[in-house]
Amino acid sequence: MQDVLSMTYYWLKAGHIIFMVFWMAGLFMLPRQMLYMHSAPPGSEEEALWATRSGLLRTIILTPSIIVVWVLGLLLAMTIGAFDQGWFHAKLLLVIVLSGYHGWLVAKARKMAGGARPLNEKQLRLWGEFPAIMLALIVVLVIVKPF
């Protein structure tokens, strides 16, 4: 199995990066869509439109991307023997936190689609920056491998 994974390393890496970009794009877009939904009156056509858009974003981009990122990421880790490297443990922890954020944000978006407003606009703007911070930390860990 290790030999097969080694032969496909660059394909796994390319796929992992491509789907990571899709996932991050979705995580950047969802809070923005939630902001637009927030300003729409509950029960309005505008709110329904943004609820539909955020549902499609989750269904078409976010959910498939997080699954592929995890599968390809774990296969890559197996290929390069990353499980015994410190930088990988830190990266894995940050990806777990980012995955938790993903789930939390999706839950909030679903509540908003039902007419609730669980976060105010300031909170949505602040939480919208979270993926960028996590992305920067993860990229530094992967490229620099500080430990």
Binding residues for heme: 16, 91
| Chain centroid, CA 126 distance in Å | 16
| Cα(86)–Cα(82) distance, integer angstroms | 8
Tokens of 64: 């498939």
Consecutive H or E run containing 140: helix 130-144
> Contact, 67 vs 21, CB < 8 A?
no
3-state secondary structure of 27: helix
Both tokens assigned to 36: 């637009």
Tokens read off for 96: 């777990």
Residue 80 C-alpha from the chain's centroid:
23
Give the residue ranges of the annotated binding site.
Answer: 16, 91
CA dist 31 and 37 (Å) reads 10
